[in-house]
Structures are given as structure tokens and as C-alpha cells.
Structure 1
Amino acid sequence: MMFEGEAEAWLGIDLGTQSVRALLVTADGTVLGAGTAPLTNHRDGVRHEQDPGEWWEAACTASRAAMSQGSSPVRAIGGLAVCGTSGTVLLADTQGRPLTRGLMYDDGRATEEAARVGMQTSWALPKALWLLDAYGWKEGRGQVARVTHQPDVITAQLTGGVVPTDSSHALKTGYDAEREAWPPQLARVGEVLPEVVRPGTRLGEVCRAAAEATGIPAGTPVVAGMTDGCAAQIASGALRSGAWNSVLGTTLVLKGASANPVRDDAGVVYNHRAPDGSWLPGGASSVGAGALPVGPDPSEMDIRAAEYEPSGALTYPLSSPGERFPFFAPEATAFTLGKPASEADSWAAVLQGVAFTERLCLDYLHYLGAPIDGPLTFTGGAARSAYWNQLRADILGRPARVPEQIEPALGMAVLAAYGTEVGAGAGTGMGAGTRAGTGLALAEVAERMVRIRTLLEPRASHTARFTEPYARLVDELETRGWLPTPLATHTRTRLNEDTIDS
């Protein structure tokens, strides 16, 4: 099924940590072309940077590959959108040209700035303040520096000039998504902050120079994107209130949909504004597949790990020090209680530990009063593991879905399809609710373009096996002072209720 107009496909571009990915997708979810290009990471202790010039080169390579595939050329591209890593920031000049390297989301140098503004170091505002202090308000040629988010570099190149940033990437720079304005407390740095529009806003068109570099037709609409976590959520189709998408890669991110913001005084859960004016609450944990040892074959280890349910060891598998969700504990470190019986048992302990944390995240969301009764979807690189998917469904004790495509780039193709209808009015108050002139909400557009590959049902007997180790983990996290007692109590209450119901 095609939307109105002559466009046959939409392009999504995902600026990841390791690579740039591009997908060319039709209105019914058929992938016509895909491309990828690697990125270089510059790490030194807490320092983690990337070269913005490499982002553009990789975006060109990935886009050309996506555009050149298929048995017949695409007649027209309806539009494109770009997502990036949340919290990655740099300084650029007034023409959008980078003046510094990009400080990645996990760059840890802005500790003093984070404490000053009451944010985590993974957020963009502390890093932006660090850059402004380190490089000064002006660069060598006397040009005023502008705070710039990762996708802004690409959209400026595509359109041939500076364009507004989207409110999704601006959120961690301190943007007030409810008032849709920069807050008064940022007035001191107001002159270096970008103009902000809602995701889905039409920013401009691909210029001739960018068309030659990327293979994307000149005149293709460029639509404001969202962060990679939100892009993955769109790609999952989890956009109706109560639906959640669990993105499991190096770390774990949960994103849901709600008619209203989810309030959290602890600041663990934050809320993105959806293009249609609803809310996408969520949080990012530091546990994930990054805690798995490098070297063993994952498929083989999954088979062997199935023999250890539950594992003889209890692991809290942080990929890096410090936890952000389901609780905030900068001092938290990975730990293992008990001694694994084998390499496979150790592998099983990590898989189960991630799933326990995932369950604790959902318990925390329930504690906050967030709607969590809708469908749950698994995306991210770890969703390629059939065994881990089933294990997670068993430990969570709830059904889950796995889409055919688990790429954030697909989410950007969906957003581009949505945004090309509302882009002319978005940013001026138009765009809330449904697509202008079509009656279609973003969720409906996603449901037509997102294909579900697998439906998972929890196995009650397996769920029961993990009740005791999950309770032990909650106790241990509370004992260490990381998990607040009210949340631990709420979690135990829910666990008891589930045990009685089963």
C-alpha cells in the first residue's frame, strides 16, 4: 500500500556508535535498499570523541549503498530523517561547520558541569558547558560557537545550511519539552543554543551538492529526526499508550508511550515529546550485552547457557561503572554473587542478570504510575538471539514481540513518511494529533511499515524458576544502598502478587 503522492520510499539514516546505517523503505515496510559504513571511536580513559567529518562521509557511503540497491531505480524519495546517539554534542560555527570533535554520550569529562546543573554526565548540557569553557565562546576565526547535536551536522550538509535541531535531541541539553522552549535558567548561554522544532518538522530539501555526494535526489524533503532510542521505538511500533519497546544492545533502554508525561522526582525516567504531541517516557540502564565476554561464539554459548536456568551465580551485569535506570547510582559497579560452575554458567548469569534488571525497570515504571499494560517489543542487536528473547519473556512473565527489522534507521524512515505530510505546518503549532489531511496518527503509519517477525509467550514453569533469584537481586541492590527502599518494597509486593496469581 502506498501513501498519496508519487513517492515510493522513504530513507532513514542512523548515526550509531560503531557505524552509520541507512535504510530505504516503502510504505508497507519493504526494504528496498540498505547501506552501512563504519565509524572510528577515539577513547582515552573517560574521554570518548568522534570526528564529525567522518559522520558525513559515512552517511554519504551508507546512503549511496541504500540508493543503489534494488532491481529497478526508485522513482522518488518521499523524504528522509536522521537520528543520532542521545547526549552527543559538539560546537559548530554559524554555518553549521564543526569547530570541535563530537563528545559522545558516554564521554565522562563534564563531571563538575553535571553536578552544577544537576544532570548525569551522559546528558548533553554538561558536555556542552564543558566545551564552551574549554574552547571559549569564540573560535580562532572569530566565529561564534553554536551548540550542535550529532544529526544537526548531517542535516546542515544535506540542506546546504544551518537548520533547527529537533526537541528529542535537545531534551538532554536542557530543553523544556512541555513548554517547548529553552528554560530561563539557560539564559546565560541562550545565544549559543539552537532553534528547536518538533520531530517530524520539515527542515528543508536535499541540495544539489549533497545529492551528488549521497545519491539522494536533489529536492528530497529533510525531516527533523529523533534520538536513536526514540527511533528504535518508532521502528518497534510501540507508540500507543501503554506500549513499551525494550532496546537491548551494549546497554538497555526502555521507551514507552503515554498520553501524559511520567513524573519522576529522581530524574531516572525522562520524557521525549512525540511528533503528534503525546509522550515517549523512558530510561537508559548501564547493563546490557556489553557485559558479555568477547571471544566466545554467542550462538553456541546460548545453547549451553540453557542448561543453567537459573544460573548458579547472580550477576548485576553493568557494561560500565555507574547505573542510571532503574535507579541512579554513579558509584554502582558490576558484581557477581556465587561462583559460576562453568563458562556457560557465567554466560547464563549475564543473560539472566540483564533480564532481571529489565524486570526491575518495568517495576519502577509501575511504581511511578506509568501505563505498562500494552504490548512489549524487543529490539536492538541482542534481539537477534532467539534464546535470550525467550529467556527475557520468561523472566518478565509477559508476552513480547520481535519486529522483522530492528534498526533505528527504519524508525527514521517511518518518521519521514509521517513528517512529509505535516512538515509544512509543524513548528508553528500544527502537527499535534494526526497527520494533516490524512487522519493517520504516527502509530498508524508505523503499524503499516513495521512488520512483526516473532511472537513470544512466557512459559509459566520457567517464570517460576527465576522468582527467587530476582528477589535476591532486589535485596542485594537495596542492601548496597543503590536501590531505594520504597522501590524495593514495591517490587517485592508485585512479586508476591504475581506468585499468588500464578
Structure 2
Amino acid sequence: MSKYFFGLDVGTQGARVVLVDENGELIASDSRKFQLTDKFREEQSPSVWWNDCEELLTGIIQNLPTNIDKQDIVAISVTSTSGTVIPLDSNNQPLHDAIMYSDPRSADQGQRIKAIAEKKIKNGYTGFNSSSGISKMLWFVETFPEKAEAISLWVHASDYLVGKLSGNYHTTDYTNVLKSAYDLEKLEWPNYVTEDIGIKDSWLQNVVPSGTVVGTLKTDLAEKWGLQDLKVVVGMTDGCATQMASGAVKPGTWNTTIGTTLVIKGVTKSNVIDPLGRLYSHRHSEGYWMPGGASNTGADWISMEFSDGLDQLNESAEKLIPTAELAWPLWQEGERYPIMAPQARGFAPENIEREKLFAANLEGVAFIEKLAYEIIEELSSEKVEAVYSAGGGSNSDVWLKIRASVLNVPIYKCKEASGAFGAAIMAASNTYYNSLIEASDKMTAIEKEILPDQDLVEAYKIQYQEFKQKLTELKYI
């Protein structure tokens, strides 16, 4: 008999639920856009999240295929945004709306916490800023001292939903606590959090490996849905969940997600310490490390300038590569990874035809990706063996070909690489399977394998060095 797993993904603008079997086959899915206020990037209502998620789950359960026995649904897990936090009272009710990761109001607190952490921590994460959960906690305490007196617990976005499902609000996972100042080397809350920042011990959660079962479905929900003994698995951050879904869960494997931005995450045997703060490392549930970074370079330039006739542009690019042109489609000012250059601006050849510029821009993003992986290999002393690809950028076959040839490693595009699917893998990792790696092996499927084109490999070696020289001349590196 097949077994089934729910994955729940709550993002900035909506929620998605999937039900998959032990082989990763999608059985059912549904999604919903949130009714958002003008301040949705600063604050959102956790009640709205839960109400929508409960309705989505109810709809899927009520409309299950007739051949599925509800008792074969084993577990559920949740993914949500990193750095979003909620203060709860003693009854686990929010004292305030969720303070979103994208809320910039805690910039001052982030700077102060960063300065404290740099004095206290030698080789751990100190990259705190306005997007960090710990910064938002301090901002709230300082801004609303009267409400702070009633705080019983701080939770992250996915933790709140796990709590609504299981009643356990006090447990979180390795990925959620990175930006809340938990020490992932020593696996403890460092003293400076309470002694120097002023966050009370009693406000902090217990931290367990991602994939840990933290409870079973609450009685009222179990009766409503007809699900007995459904296991609830601790949540994780959305970027890490997407990495799980991509298949990049073993040492030496990496995931590049090209959406609006370019996000790289991978697995190494040892912690990767970047003195410049471009990379940061999550803790893998099996003791490895998951370093990663996010670039401002991505695919936003396509939607801004090349959305018309995209199929034709991809066909033309296939005939034009290698272009021997140097282009960098950085749509905004400033880059954060793989180079830290707040003054950086994109560039392109003058008087170049539209089709060739499109192809050169595809190459430019691949060169940024190559530079990122060079830095990773240098810092980790470990070899990048393969790259698993996700995001809208993976839908372009010619772009996959360019990237495989620039990186000179195989690129694998997985059949399903969403946060919700990653959450379902986490739900199965220690309830049906024995580990995250085993669950990923069994549940992910490679849709395409793209090998380097050796003629392009040689041409891109030259073009890539010219690209780096251009960045050097512009004083970006």
C-alpha cells in the first residue's frame, strides 16, 4: 500500500499544499493568494495564513481520490519564509502580527546585533541585518515595551503553523534559527543573546534537526479531517525546502534556483566560513552543512525587457552562442553575491542586436554563477560535482546548455522543485524513510540531464576570464 505526505508552503503572497506519495508522485495540490494589506511586506496576520491553509487542506482531504485511504497519510511538514517571527502570549496567541523578513524597520537593531555577534563569535554566523529574526525580536521589544511584558515565546513563521497543527509551538529546526542567532556549531543559544541583546531565555525555542517529528495532529483537526495519528514534522525555511525538492542533499551537490534573483545552496562535509559574509551555512539534518548565498542577478531582466517572443529568442540564442560578448544583466544597482559591490551596475555591448543581447545576458548570468561556485570551492576545499536547477530560469533549454558548459559540470533539472514538495520530503524523511538523503533519493526525479558541450566549454573558458577582467577593471572585484 502506498503512503502519502502533505507539504505546506506559506510564502509572502500565498499558500500552497501538495499531497505526494512515497515515490514523489503528486497526488493533489491547491493554492491560494492571501488578501494582503498595503503593509504586507512589513506585517501579516498569522490568522489569515492559518485560515487559508486549513481551508486548502480541508478541500484536498474532502476530494481525495477514492483509492486513497486516509489512514495511509503519514505526516505533514511546513515551509515558510526565513526571518519572519511572531511573539506569542502564554496561550500561544499572537501578541502582534507576524513581522516579515522583508520589514526594514529593524535595520538599526540589526547593525547593533551584528556588532555584538562579531565580538562574541569567531567562526559562526554574524551576518545580522534587518531581515534577521533576532533583529525583529529586539525591534519589537524596544518599540512595544508594554507588549513585551506579555511575551511567552518567539516563534518563526513555519513554527506557528506547526503549532496550529500539533499544539507544539516550542520546537523549531536548524534552518529557522540561523538568523535568530542560534549557534549551529555548538547547537546552543549563545549567551550574548540574553546577556547582551536582552532576549529572555524563556522566549527561545527548543531546536531540533530538520525532519524531526514534534507531535501528532491535534484532536479537533484529526476528527474534522478523519486523520488519526498524522505525524507533524518540524518546519523549515523556504530556500532550504526548495533545495530539498531539487535533489541537492548529498555532499558535493548544489542547487541553483534562478527566479527574480539567483540563489545557490549546496551540501558540504564541513562548515564553510566566508570572512566577507557573502555565504552563510545552514546545518544539515545529518550533520553536514548547507552553505549558500543569494545574488541580485537573476532573471528579472527577462520579464522587464524580453518577455515578448521568448520562445523565438531562445531559438535564436541556440544559434548565436558562444557570443564572445560581455554582458551582465544586473537590473538593480548593487550586488551582494558572489561579489560585494553596492556600487555595481550591469553592462552590455553598445549597438548590439536584441537577439544577441539576450544570448549574451544568458551567458552573463552563467558567469556570475561560475564565479559563485569558484568562491565556494575555494572556501570549502571541496569540489562541486553537480548542480541541480530550479526556478523559472530552468525552463530554457539553451540556458541550461550554457550554464552546464560554463560550469563544466552536469546540470539536473528535477521534475518537481517547489517549497511545498520539499516540505513533503521532510515529512517523509524520518517517518517513512530513515533519513533525508534516502527520502530525497526516492522522491525526487530528474526530468532532464544536461551535460557540458565541450566546444562551448573551451570557448567559455576564454569568455569567462574576459568577464572577470571586466569586473576587475570596473573595480567590482
Say if 1:372 and 1:87 are closer, same or farther in 2 by CA, change over 3 A.
Answer: farther
| Offset at residue 325 of structure 1 (A) | 2.1
What's 2:17 paired with? Answer: 22
- The one-letter code matched in structure 1 to 2:417 is I
What's 1:125 paired with? Answer: 134
Give the count of matched residue pairs.
Answer: 456
CA contact (8 A) 1:99 1:145 kept: no
CA contact (8 A) 1:309 1:465 kept: no
| 1:186-201 aligned within 5 A | 186-187=193-194, 188-191=198-201, 192-201=203-212
CA contact (8 A) 1:41 1:49 kept: no
- The one-letter code matched in structure 2 to 1:324 is R
CA contact (8 A) 1:92 1:145 kept: yes
Q: Is 1:104 aligned to residue 100 of structure 2? A: yes
Say if 1:307 and 1:113 are closer, same or farther in 2 by CA, change over 3 A.
Answer: farther
Distance in structure 1 (CA, Å) of the matches to 2:130 and 2:468: 26
| 1:439-478 aligned within 5 A | 440-478=434-472
| 1:24-423 aligned within 5 A | 24-39=19-34, 48-67=42-61, 68-75=63-70, 76-118=72-114, 119-136=128-145, 138=147, 143-144=150-151, 146-187=153-194, 188-191=198-201, 192-211=203-222, 215=225, 217-294=227-304, 295-296=307-308, 298-310=310-322, 314-318=326-330, 320-329=332-341, 331-339=342-350, 341-420=352-431
SS at match of 2:251: coil
Distance in structure 1 (CA, Å) of the matches to 2:243 and 2:326: 30
| Offset at residue 450 of structure 1 (A) | 0.8
| Offset at residue 175 of structure 1 (A) | 0.9
CA contact (8 A) 2:95 2:151 kept: no
CA contact (8 A) 1:12 1:416 kept: yes
Say if 1:373 and 1:123 are closer, same or farther in 2 by CA, change over 3 A.
Answer: same
CA contact (8 A) 2:430 2:436 kept: no
Could you tell me which runs of 5 or more consecutive residues in structure 1 were left unpaired when the two chains were aligned. 422-434, 484-502
- The one-letter code matched in structure 2 to 1:458 is P
| Offset at residue 137 of structure 1 (A) | 6.0
CA contact (8 A) 2:252 2:384 kept: yes
Say if 1:216 and 1:480 are closer, same or farther in 2 by CA, change over 3 A.
Answer: farther
- The one-letter code matched in structure 2 to 1:25 is V
Distance in structure 2 (CA, Å) of the matches to 1:302 and 1:104: 37
SS at match of 1:411: helix
Distance in structure 2 (CA, Å) of the matches to 1:138 and 1:216: 38
- The one-letter code matched in structure 2 to 1:316 is W
SS at match of 2:296: coil
CA contact (8 A) 2:159 2:234 kept: no
Distance in structure 1 (CA, Å) of the matches to 2:28 and 2:338: 37
Say if 1:340 and 1:402 are closer, same or farther in 2 by CA, change over 3 A.
Answer: farther
Say if 1:284 and 1:16 are closer, same or farther in 2 by CA, change over 3 A.
Answer: same
- The one-letter code matched in structure 1 to 2:156 is H
| Offset at residue 452 of structure 1 (A) | 0.9
SS at match of 1:224: strand
Distance in structure 2 (CA, Å) of the matches to 1:216 and 1:299: 47
- The one-letter code matched in structure 2 to 1:154 is L
Distance in structure 2 (CA, Å) of the matches to 1:301 and 1:367: 35
Residues 113-153 of structure 1 show CA distances to partners (whole Å, capped at 9, x for unaligned) of 222222243333223322332233626xx622633211012
CA contact (8 A) 1:207 1:219 kept: no
Say if 1:481 and 1:174 are closer, same or farther in 2 by CA, change over 3 A.
Answer: farther
| Offset at residue 350 of structure 1 (A) | 3.6
| Offset at residue 397 of structure 1 (A) | 2.2
Distance in structure 1 (CA, Å) of the matches to 2:42 and 2:309: 28
CA contact (8 A) 1:35 1:61 kept: no
- The one-letter code matched in structure 2 to 1:341 is I
TM-score, structure 2 as length reference: 0.86
SS at match of 1:347: helix
| Offset at residue 36 of structure 1 (A) | 1.3
The match for 2:3 among 3, 8, 29 is: 8
Distance in structure 1 (CA, Å) of the matches to 2:344 and 2:155: 32
CA contact (8 A) 1:96 1:161 kept: no
Say if 1:479 and 1:112 are closer, same or farther in 2 by CA, change over 3 A.
Answer: farther
Q: Greater CA deviation, 55-64 or 199-208? A: 55-64
SS at match of 1:238: coil
TM-score, structure 1 as length reference: 0.82
| Offset at residue 87 of structure 1 (A) | 2.2
Aligned residues with identical type, % of pairs: 30
Say if 1:259 and 1:91 are closer, same or farther in 2 by CA, change over 3 A.
Answer: same
Distance in structure 1 (CA, Å) of the matches to 2:361 and 2:22: 39
Q: CA RMSD in A?
A: 2.8
Q: Greater CA deviation, 197-206 or 313-322? A: 313-322
Say if 1:354 and 1:281 are closer, same or farther in 2 by CA, change over 3 A.
Answer: same
CA contact (8 A) 1:291 1:319 kept: yes
- The one-letter code matched in structure 2 to 1:165 is T
What's 1:431 paired with? Answer: none
Distance in structure 2 (CA, Å) of the matches to 1:65 and 1:301: 41
CA contact (8 A) 1:315 1:334 kept: no
SS at match of 1:323: coil
Residues 16-50 of structure 1 show CA distances to partners (whole Å, capped at 9, x for unaligned) of 23332222111112111111112355567x95443
SS at match of 1:316: coil
- The one-letter code matched in structure 2 to 1:92 is L
